[in-house]
Structure 1
Amino acid sequence: MPINNDITFRKLTVFATFMKKENIARTAEAMGLSSVSVHRALHSLEEEIRCPLFSHKGRNLVPLPAASTLLEYATDVIETMTRGIEETRRASGFGLARLRIGTLYSLMLETVPQLIMGMKLRRPDVELDLTMGSNQALLSMLDEGMLDAILIPVTEDEIKRNQLEVLPLFEDDICLAAPASAGLNPDAPADLRDFLHQKFVSLPEGFATYVGFQEAFHIAGFEPEIIMRVNDIFSILSLVQAGVGMTLMPGRMEKVYGNDVQLLKLAAPYQMRQLIAIVFPRNREHDPNLLALAAEGRMYALGRGESKR
């Protein structure tokens, strides 16, 4: 005989709890239900199994031998499904003692170390694995389940993707980076048209800063002469410092070579900002490790906001 679709795990759990408590009121209290809901679940289960499970003595339900038989199998089913759910979550990385985080190189200066320190206090037994790469690569690894969360600049398109949970951390301006030896006026916004004949170094396609780089020069109306593309922002800073070329990069990088590299605010037509956020799959929003990371992210964002006041 096929199993009735109305025989649910909830009803079996109510039944198993009642068999243990031997009283509807105590069962209702243990499960946070009303006595009416417990009685309805037991009566419904009895109807769907199509055989009597209880005899009535006044207002009390007395289990029949059939109820004891059902309890044996219901207990096995509930325990098996509980283990199955736990194994499924484990296979997806849910709640493991390891959290795989992807990040940009530039966020290793301050943001990631602070989040890691906070995570170690919140969940000291969790091991943190860090992977660094471009926006494109990190998003791909997140989609494929190779990472649990990533820290990247996000766009409106990524925020609108329903399968992603996005927790904003801070915004950062994109600036013109030039060697200090160029002697540019730090108080004057940089008009990119003034740098038509300059050489530039750049991140490759796939990085969020590269997208901003392309958009800014499109507005300026010319194609910059890019003499080198490098995969990490620290190497680009070294090239700028050495006078190999100029570039566009986030203002947070000023802390690296503050005396040797000038970061100038862009003139109004080219101004743009990056919204840095923690991103993780929405269907894992209840993972205790990700909940801890999100909580630490909110504390970090709050601290950044207060420091600007």
Structure 2
Amino acid sequence: MEFRQLQYALQIAAERNFSRAADKLHIAQPSLSQQLSKLEKELGVVLFQRNTSSVELTYAGQVFVEKAGAILSAVELLRQEMSDISQLRTGSVVVGSMPITGAHLLPHVLPVFKRKYADIEITLLEDTSMNLEKLTAVGQTDLSLLSLPLEVPVLTYEVLGEERIDLAVPAEHPLSARQASGERTQLEELKDEPFIVLKEGQGFRTMTMELCQAAGFEPRIVFESNNMETVQSLVAAGMGVTLVPHFIARAPRSEFVPVYLPLAEPVPSRTLVIAYRKGRYMSKAAEAFIETFKSVVAGLQ
């Protein structure tokens, strides 16, 4: 059994897809399949059930992935502890980030961090919140920018802060006049509005659905996108309304800009966190990144 085979199996388990796993690992898909077959033959078990639409873990695969994740985490722990013992100023941190949230926060954080820790390498991994939780759980990231609640129980977190949720409407929408008046909008008022939302698998879509349901209605979804910028542009073009995290709402964008309105008390918000695996050794580089992130985000609120 080779160390790289453990990494390959974990990546396949995270992606549930050989092609995506091969892309993330930067190897050819036939090579990945060959290595997995070699591993399964050596172990005498089938780790993954393959079909035309998905790849699923067998029971043996579940046990293997859990143990392999622990082995890789132990190796990384040893490497990081030795690095810290040697008191090197160099280091590396793999940071997972939700693409849109990261796009509006990391440009504030990374320059500050690099000025203070010029020799620490930061590797950024962008994915949906659901996938980031899985990747963080198996050690593919040292830490990840996410929002509560977390679904994977082996993760813990440090709170960055609360981010309010705003309403976005087209400029010609009757509610847009409230921007000048300061009148706040109740979520219940949106029950008959067409909604544009993110696609399933993204944490903020789940939050949007839950906020609407708590207000007593199911949002009438007319369009979905993987990209929050697209969602906002479609709102600006008059196709519907949406909810937007405040850090994203306040950032400059393209010519298609909707009107942003604060919602009524109690103002909905999401809790942004830096998440990492419970019990994972936290390197000095990762600790420094967390402290820098917390300090910068506090200054933006």
- CA 1:114–1:94 in structure 2 vs 1: closer, same or farther (change >3 Å)? farther
The question of 1:124 aligning with 2:118 is answered yes
Q: Residues 194 and 303 of structure 1: is their aligned pair in 2 closer, same or farther, counting only changes over 3 Å?
A: closer
| In 1: Cα distance, 2:76 partner to 2:165 partner | 45
Larger radius of gyration: 1
Tell me whether 272-281 or 164-173 shows the greater mean CA deviation.
164-173
Which secondary structure state, in structure 2, belongs to the residue aligned with residue 214 of structure 1?
Answer: helix
Cα offset, 1:236, TM superposition: 1.1
| 8 Å CA contact 1:169, 1:300 repeated in 2 | no
Q: Which residue of 2 aligns with 1:277?
A: 273
Task: After TM superposition, give the deviation of residue 181 of structure 1 in Å.
Answer: 2.4
Shift of 1:146: 1.2
Partner residue of 2:296? 300
The answer for unaligned runs of 5 or more in structure 2 is: 1-73, 85-89
1:107 paired to 2:107: no
CA spacing shift, 1:231–1:94, aligned 2, 3 Å: farther
For the structure 1 residues 217 and 101, does the alpha-carbon distance in structure 2 shift closer, same or farther, using more than 3 Å as the test? same
2:231 matches 1:236: yes
Give the counterpart letter for 1:225 in structure 2.
Answer: R
Which among 72, 79, 86 is matched to residue 90 of structure 1? Answer: 79
The residue type paired with residue 103 of structure 1 is S
TM-score (norm 1): 0.61
| Cα distance in 1, alignment partners of residues 257 and 282 from structure 2 | 45
Shift of 1:109: 4.2
| Counterpart code for 2:273 | A
Alpha-carbon deviation of 1:216? 2.0
2:143 matches 1:149? yes
Residue 289 of structure 2 is aligned to residue 261 of structure 1: no
- When residues 193 and 303 of structure 1 are mapped into structure 2, their CA distance, relative to the original with a 3 A threshold, is closer
| Secondary structure, aligned partner of 1:206 | coil
Does residue 222 of structure 1 match 2:217? yes
Q: Give the superposition deviation at 1:220.
A: 2.9
| Secondary structure of the structure 2 residue equivalent to 1:188 | coil
Question: Which amino acid in structure 2 is aligned with residue 118 of structure 1?
Answer: V
In 2, distance between residues paired with 1:97 and 1:255?
Answer: 34
Q: Distance in 2 between matches of 1:223 and 1:93?
A: 53
Alignment of 1:13-162 (within 5 A): 89-90=78-79, 97-155=91-149
Match of 1:198 among 193, 203, 211: 193
Note if contact 2:101-2:248 (Cα within 8 Å) is conserved in structure 1: no
Give 1:218 deviation, angstroms.
1.2
Q: Do the aligned partners of residues 156 and 206 (structure 1) sit closer, same or farther apart at CA in structure 2, a change above 3 Å counting?
A: closer
Q: Distance in 2 between matches of 1:277 and 1:222?
A: 28
Is 1:170 the counterpart of 2:161? The answer is yes
CA contact (8 A) 2:77 2:280 kept: no
In structure 2, what residue type is equivalent to 1:116?
A: L
Q: What is the number of residues matched between the two proteins? A: 217
Aligned to 2:208: 213
Q: Which amino acid aligns with 2:215?
A: A
1:179 aligns with 2:175: no
After TM superposition, give the deviation of residue 149 of structure 1 in Å. Answer: 0.9
CA contact (8 A) 2:80 2:283 kept: no
TM-score normalized with structure 2 length: 0.62
* Secondary structure of the corresponding residue to residue 181 of structure 1: coil
- State the SS of the aligned residue for 1:180: coil
CA shift in 2, pair 1:196/1:291, >3 Å: closer
- Give 1:164 deviation, angstroms: 3.7
Taking a change above 3 Å as real, the CA distance of residues 229 and 253 of structure 1, as seen in their structure-2 partners, is same
Between the aligned partners of 1:201 and 1:266, the Cα distance in structure 2 is 17
- The one-letter amino acid of 1:213's match is T
Question: Cα gap change, 1:212/1:93 in structure 2, threshold over 3 Å: closer, same or farther?
Answer: farther
Question: Following the alignment from structure 1 to structure 2, what is the Cα–Cα distance between the partners of residues 157 and 218?
Answer: 19
Q: Is the 8 A contact 1:94 1:284 kept in 2?
A: no
Do the aligned partners of 2:137 and 2:276 also contact (CA within 8 Å) in 1? Answer: no
State the match for 2:7 in structure 1.
none
Structure 1 unaligned regions, length at least 5: 1-84
In structure 2, C-alpha distance between the alignment counterparts of 1:87 and 1:222, rounded to whole Å: 47
RMSD: 3.1
Q: Distance in 1 between matches of 2:82 and 2:238?
A: 46
The one-letter code sitting in structure 2 at the alignment partner of 1:179 is: P
